[in-house]
Amino acid sequence: MSDTLVVAEHRRGELEDISYELITAGRELADAMDGDLHVAVINGDVDSHAEQLDRDGVDTIHTVDYGKGFNHDVYTQAVTELADSLSPRTVLIPHTATGMDYAPAVANALDNPLVTDAIDLQYDEELTVAREMYSSKLESVIATDSTQAVVTVRPAEWPPTESDGSAAIDAFEAEIDEAAITSTVTGFEETVGGDIDISEADFIVSVGRGIEDEENLELIERLCDVTGATLAASRPICDNEWLSKGRQVGQSGKDVTPDVYVAIGISGAVQHVSGMKNSERIVAINNDSTAPIFDIADYGIVGDLFEVVPALIEEVE
């Protein structure tokens, strides 16, 4: 019970970056436990996926060929069987919409404890997992003394493993219970299209929950008018349908990399930050000095946006 099992993620024929990040995280854990690193790749073109997943530090790649793409019932059964067969100390699954759709079921089926959204993993006689709470304002450490645990891992927290490996490849014959497959993935749809492509903008003014009311958006639109900035938003604004989904920055929206990103009334939840952290320069205006957005901003104004923004408009005009 000292091995680590990592489950790769792929979508529409392509392996996702998180798969290679999990190899890095998994290798670190396997080293700390003096065990092997196993990678599971389920469905799709498993042979080509296995070839790509053969990266430095991987001992064995287990392929399960039971369909074209993701199906949470198949994944749950396959990962559960693999964990039963390999008895890893830890099972690492991506903390993505896909991972969230089967990791809790795997943990429950294995009667394992589950820790989600890990940002750090340590092993010293017991496994400890660091994770964020309270909208990224605090971190906590969860320790587990179980013989086996399932952990979901936040994307982009570990660097991907790039160099080639020499893993053994094993076709795992999972005994999938067809009767227990109660879901069918029938397709994919793009949600962010629309009138504007914010991902190409050089200068973005982005607005969040701090704007409070739809009618207050006028203020930010005026700022964009006088400065020539492209208007973007964080999730709550688009959830409320105050702005179109095409303007949403973050995990479920667009990634942006402008020269300047001005975040107004945005607290800086991880889902938002993942979409704008690669901006050249980040400015935050927020009345809460403890808002996580200030952790990644280059410049900040701690103040009332309803005072600062009108003053800025006046200044620019």
Q: Which pair of structure tokens corresponds to residue 68?
A: 């074209």
Nearest alpha-carbon partner for 105 in 73, 66, 83, 145: 73
Question: Could you say which of 163, 178, 184, 195 contacts another protein (CB under 8 A)?
Answer: 184
Question: Could you say which of 27, 62, 72, 89 contacts another protein (CB under 8 A)?
Answer: 72
* Contacts within 8 Å (CB) and 24+ apart, 16-20: 16/94, 16/96, 17/155, 17/156, 17/160, 18/94, 18/96, 18/153, 18/155, 19/53, 19/94, 20/53, 20/55, 20/160, 20/161, 20/162
Residue number, 61 or 112, with CB nearest to another protein: 112
Least Cβ distance, residue 34 to another protein (angstroms): 22
Site for another protein in 5-24 (CB under 8 A): 11
Binding of residue 145 to another protein (CB under 8 A): yes
**Rounded to whole angstroms, how far apart are CA atoms 151 and 117?**
8
Binding of residue 32 to another protein (CB under 8 A): no
Question: Could you say which of 8, 30, 105, 198 contacts another protein (CB under 8 A)?
Answer: 105
Site string for another protein, 110-129 (x = CB under 8 A): ---xxxxx----------x-
Site for another protein in 236-275 (CB under 8 A): 236, 238-241, 245, 251-255, 259-260, 262
Residue number, 37 or 285, with CB nearest to another protein: 285
The Cβ of residue 283 has, within 10 Å, a number of other Cβ atoms equal to 17
Q: To which H or E segment does residue 225 belong?
A: helix 217-227
Question: Could you say which of 4, 76, 90, 279 contacts another protein (CB under 8 A)?
Answer: 76
Residue number, 218 or 307, with CB nearest to another protein: 307
Binding of residue 103 to another protein (CB under 8 A): yes
Distance (Å) of CA 111 to CA 21, 76, 80, 95, 100: 26, 13, 10, 19, 17
Least Cβ distance, residue 109 to another protein (angstroms): 6
User: Angle, nearest 10°, between helix axes 72-86 and 103-110?
Assistant: 40
Question: Could you say which of 166, 188, 213, 215 contacts another protein (CB under 8 A)?
Answer: 188
Site for another protein in 149-178 (CB under 8 A): 149
Question: Could you say which of 174, 233, 276, 312 contacts another protein (CB under 8 A)?
Answer: 312
Q: What number of chain residues touch another protein (CB under 8 A)?
A: 98
Binding of residue 189 to another protein (CB under 8 A): yes
Residue number, 64 or 285, with CB nearest to another protein: 285
Q: Which pair of structure tokens corresponds to residue 26?
A: 């998994």
Residue number, 62 or 72, with CB nearest to another protein: 72
Q: Is 187 exposed, middle or buried (0-12, 13-18, 19+ CB in 10 A)?
A: exposed
Question: Could you say which of 187, 195, 213, 215 contacts another protein (CB under 8 A)?
Answer: 187
DSSP class of residue 148 equals -
Q: Which pair of structure tokens corresponds to residue 276?
A: 């704008």
Q: Is 49 exposed, middle or buried (0-12, 13-18, 19+ CB in 10 A)?
A: buried
Least Cβ distance, residue 13 to another protein (angstroms): 13
**Rounded to whole angstroms, how far apart are CA atoms 226 and 46?**
53
Binding of residue 279 to another protein (CB under 8 A): no
